[in-house]
């Protein structure tokens, strides 16, 4: 059983037309398998986290009671993107597993919302946020090496506490970036094959082979997003991650969680004169 489905074009070419739909279940099973394996590891094998450095008691006393993490604009982007993503996944794959409805219009509208939200995020992250905070740096890689060595029982220095985003968040961001861009670019092109408000339908814009490859890439990225979304939701509801999830709702996290998990040298938070003073949400 191949992972692609093929057809003969009017010109007699054997061209791919889309992915094999059993890959939907492969993606679901992969996501659930990751969930089970990670949960078992955390429950029975993961030891207490040990870190080097971190905030001193004097530094902690100068931090605001609530440490700002996500601005209102960043939070709105996240939840709009999430709504669009779930709508795209449901409208794309439910008909393939037997739930029939008129899905095309809902799908392309959600695609437009996702595209606009990503364009907004690119501008917002580039000019109004710390653009490099979400990308792996040398410290992340060095600490990852230390964790692996210690996990294998070898002697290694303690890893440092995290910056604003731990390495796993940064790697996930890279994966979702690649799959999301693949879905958006191919999806925008595929809108020429349906009737929308933006431009006239033109199924002859590309050759049959190009259309086929585009559908294949769109499908592969789509099923990959099933696994990525399962993993994302899983980590969002894990007890130790709930303060991070809550910060995507209220915009901030407690001073205690920041001190426990983050290195003030890697994620600098402006101190306040009164440690009980609250702060407005911000990046």
Q: Distance (Å, rounded) from C-alpha 112 to C-alpha 98?
A: 25
Residues 6+ apart with CB under 8 A from 25: none
pLDDT in tens, 221-243: 999 999 999 999 999 999 999 99
Res. 281 pLDDT band, cuts 50 70 90: very low
Residue 222 half-sphere exposure, CB side, CA atoms within 13 Å? 31
pLDDT by residue (tens digit) across 173-218? 999 999 999 999 999 999 999 888 888 899 999 999 999 999 999 9
How far is residue 108's CA from residue 186's CA, in Å, rounded to a whole number?
A: 12
Q: Which residues pair with 254 in a beta bridge?
A: 66
> Mean pLDDT in the chain?
92
Radius of gyration of the chain from Cα atoms? Answer: 23
pLDDT at 278: 45
Interatomic CA distance for residues 171 and 179, integer angstroms:
13
Q: Where are the domains of the chain?
A: 15-261
Q: Give pLDDT, residue 161.
A: 95
| CA–CA distance, 162 with 160 (Å, rounded to integer) | 6
Handedness of CA 267, 270, 273, 278 (dihedral sign): negative
- Upper half-sphere CA count for residue 44 (Cβ side, 13 Å): 6
- The mean per-residue pLDDT over the stretch 120-140 comes to 95
Q: Cα–Cα distance between 135 and 224 in angstroms, integer?
A: 21
Mean predicted confidence (pLDDT) in 56-66: 92
Tens-place pLDDT, residues 141-169: 999 999 999 988 899 999 999 999 999 99
- Please report how many Cα atoms fall inside a 13 Å half-sphere around the Cα of residue 190, on the Cβ side: 24
The architecture in CATH of the region 15-261 reads Up-down Bundle (1.20)
* pLDDT interval class at 1 (50, 70, 90): low
Q: Which residue has the higher pLDDT, 66 or 199?
A: 66
């Amino acid at each position: 059983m191949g992972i692609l489905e093929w057809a003969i074009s009017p010109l007699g070419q054997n061209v791919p037309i889309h992915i094999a739909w059993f890959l939907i279940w492969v993606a679901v099973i992969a996501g659930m398998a990751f969930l089970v394996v990670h949960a078992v590891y955390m429950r029975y094998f993961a030891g207490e986290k040990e870190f080097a450095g971190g905030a001193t008691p004097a530094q902690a006393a100068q931090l605001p009671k609530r440490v700002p993490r996500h601005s209102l604009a960043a939070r709105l982007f996240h939840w709009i993107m999430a709504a669009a993503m779930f709508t795209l996944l449901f409208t794309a794959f439910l008909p393939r597993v037997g739930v029939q409805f008129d899905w095309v219009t809902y799908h392309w509208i959600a695609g437009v919302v996702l595209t606009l939200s990503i364009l907004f995020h690119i501008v917002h992250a580039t000019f109004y946020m710390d653009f490099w905070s979400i990308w792996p740096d040398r410290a992340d890689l060095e600490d990852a090496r230390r964790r692996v060595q210690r996990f294998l029982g070898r002697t290694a220095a303690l890893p440092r506490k995290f910056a604003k985003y731990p390495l796993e968040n940064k790697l996930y961001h890279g994966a979702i970036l690649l799959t999301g861009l693949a879905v958006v670019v191919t999806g925008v092109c595929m809108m020429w094959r349906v009737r929308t408000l933006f431009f006239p339908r033109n199924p002859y814009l590309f050759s049959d082979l190009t259309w086929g490859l585009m559908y294949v890439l769109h499908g592969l990225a789509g099923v990959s997003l099933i696994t990525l979304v399962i993993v994302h939701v899983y980590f969002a509801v894990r007890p130790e991650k709930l303060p991070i999830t809550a910060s995507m709702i209220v915009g901030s996290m407690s001073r205690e969680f920041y001190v426990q998990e983050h290195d003030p040298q890697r994620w600098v938070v402006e101190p306040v004169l009164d440690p009980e003073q609250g702060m407005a949400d911000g990046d």
